Structure 1
Amino acid sequence: MFFLPIGDAPNPRGFRPWVMWAVLTLNVAVYLLYTLPLGQIPVDSMDPRLWQLHLPVGLGAVSAWDVLVWERGFRPFAPSLADAFTSMFMHGGLGHLAGNMLFLWIYGDNVEHRLGRLGAVVVYLGTGLAAVAGHAALSPSSPLPMIGASGAVSGLLGVYFVLFPHNQVRAALGLFPFFFRVIHLPARWVLGAYLVLDNLLPVLFGAEGPVAYGAHIGGFVSGAGVAWLVARRGEAQAVSAQAQTPMERVIRALQAGEIDVAAAEGSVVSPEALGALPVSALTPLATALASRGEAARALGALRFALLRGGSDADAARLHLTSGMILLKAGDEGAATQQLLRVTAVAPESAEAEAARRLLPELLGARGGR
């Protein structure tokens, strides 16, 4: 019987996980450019590198790839930070590569979408290093090199486990040639089974073999820890946002350049409070409010800003914005009065030039009635 995850749901629509695609491409490129060709090149049993690296001989032909693995794979017996990084992109065979890349393909897009491009890079490499540390902790004196993306991919699985508790995994289940079906299971069931059945239990029962259980556990746990911190930060930000007044949220959105968000928050703020904003922030906000059907609130805020006083340039900008809002609302008479005031308070300004371009048509329309 076999059980093979083949997809997950839901996935972010229209999102391209460039980081995960780049990681996948790099791993495949290393396999095609190094693993395959070097694996076909035999190394003489008297090559001094075999003795310098303490590479066991006499167990069969040694290839140039075997030598590279011993040179650049991570060995707890002789740890190196550079080897810790290079080992993440080396694989022992096609099956080893395919399994890791399948899991990267299934789970990586959601993680990258949630953490962002830079966050995905940092977490992938960081949990990969944590995986190396986990392997070294369980096998501190091992002279054998560890290679593969399994630890870093396990880190992504740990992130996924925490941040996507309600997602489903699509898996192929079968017993060839008797039956085959595709089933859907909660993602946490599948990932929990991977951690406990495939890694923790073998360690507890002293299983031996080529699998770096410590790397898988270290990567998964570190990824879950990072995700827990991300989730806690998100909760704290949500609580902070709820604790802010609507006006505070308007100001914060304006500072971030998010005019539409500011307009949405400003739809429950009084015109008088909005009118206290700097003119440079109020005028685009008023325009956005009017476009949301809040023209009366926008015009009220502009009137309060005019009553507050200020420079002629500010007054011209406020009158022009009021005129444009009134014009879009179909009140040509009131719009004309606002535009005329622009030309009166600051006749040499850019706002006055904009008003003059509109006034002839408006005055002509009024005169023809």
Structure 2
Amino acid sequence: MFPIRDHNPSGRVPYVTYGLILLNVGIFASYWLTVPNEPRLAMFFIEWGVVPRRVMAGHGVHGLFTSMFLHAGLMHLAGNMLFLYIFGDNLEDILGHARYLGFYLLSGLAAAGLQIFADPASGVPMIGASGAIAGVMGGYLLLFPRAKIDILLIIVIFFRIFPIPAWVMLIVWFGLQLLSGFSVSGDDGGVAYWAHAGGFSAGLLMMIPVWIGLGGPAFWNQTRGQPPHPVAKYQTVTSGIPRVGRRK
């Protein structure tokens, strides 16, 4: 189940969201095209990622920030940037550019903090923007629970795109992070599930004062739980390839 777009584009240009996407892509290209081999790349991630064991010893603290802009591969980068593109613009519209950037970075720090707390002895570097983006998703859940999100559902050879309320997709996603966090022990999973859960929780909690300032339940009543912009109209394009009937 993959989200591919929402139905409420932002009311103004989300410069910070676009800037973060470009920055992540640029940084990824800068080391992916220049670091010569996998051992050197692993050392690069240890130096600039978050290694809980090192942080607990007082080393590599800068990785709490730099790790948010590193990705292990093209699909890792593409997935994170898609989520940021879908959920970031409406939140930036509400918070404003500067507050949104601070919110994003604080979510990333909270994500790293919970991952370190969950496994302080780990020597595996944590990298990726997913913790910070999870914070964006948590904030989105509180402000726009009924926004429509188009998801691509893939079951073996069955493909279908259909809209669901944001709260369904986000709560299922968060529940999967918790389930995986409790199920996978130590460094076995390769995914920082607790970072995802920590970022999501931090984003939701940080958004509570904003939600109250907007009117709380009255804001939901006014916007019907959706971003306060016209709903985008998506058209289904019919294939121009003619159908060929079966021969009898």
Paired residue for 2:160? 181
Tell which has more relative contact order, 1 or 2 (C-alpha 8 A, sep 6+). 2
Gaps of 5+ in 1: 43-61, 239-369
Q: Does 1:24 align with 2:21?
A: yes
Q: Does 1:66 align with 2:63?
A: no
Change in Cα spacing, 1:111 to 1:141, as seen in structure 2 (3 Å) is: same
Aligned-residue offset at 1:64: 2.3
Give me the identity figure in percent.
38
Paired residue for 2:115? 135
Q: Does 1:204 align with 2:201?
A: no
Paired residue for 1:9? 7
Paired residue for 1:154? 134
Determine which of 30, 34, 53 is the counterpart of 1:33.
Answer: 30
Aligned-residue offset at 1:214: 1.1
Name the stretch that deviates more: 85-94 or 168-177: 168-177
Aligned-residue offset at 1:176: 5.3
Paired residue for 2:144? 164
Q: Does 1:144 align with 2:128?
A: no
Residue 211 of structure 1 aligns to a residue whose secondary structure is: coil
Determine which of 65, 70, 76 is the counterpart of 2:52.
Answer: 76
Partners in 2 of 1:176 and 1:92 — Cα distance?
26
State how 1:222-301 maps to structure 2 within 5 Å: 222-235=202-215
Partners in 1 of 2:181 and 2:107 — Cα distance?
20
Partners in 2 of 1:81 and 1:115 — Cα distance?
28
Change in Cα spacing, 1:172 to 1:211, as seen in structure 2 (3 Å) is: same
TM (norm. structure 2) is 0.81
Displaced runs of 4 or more, over 4 A = none
Paired residue for 1:277? none
The answer (yes or no) to whether the contact 1:74–1:147 under 8 Å persists in 2 is yes
Aligned-residue offset at 1:205: 2.5
**Count, aligned residues:** 212
Residue 117 of structure 2 aligns to a residue whose secondary structure is: helix
Aligned-residue offset at 1:232: 1.5
Partners in 2 of 1:155 and 1:8 — Cα distance?
17
Name the stretch that deviates more: 17-26 or 75-84: 75-84
Partner amino acid for 1:216?
H
Aligned-residue offset at 1:234: 2.4
TM (norm. structure 1) is 0.55
Partner amino acid for 1:64?
R
Aligned CA-pair RMSD: 1.7
Aligned-residue offset at 1:90: 0.4
Partners in 2 of 1:4 and 1:36 — Cα distance?
28
Partner amino acid for 2:179?
L
Which has the greater radius of gyration? 1
Which structure features the higher share of helix residues? Answer: 1
Paired residue for 1:190? 169
Partners in 2 of 1:27 and 1:135 — Cα distance?
21
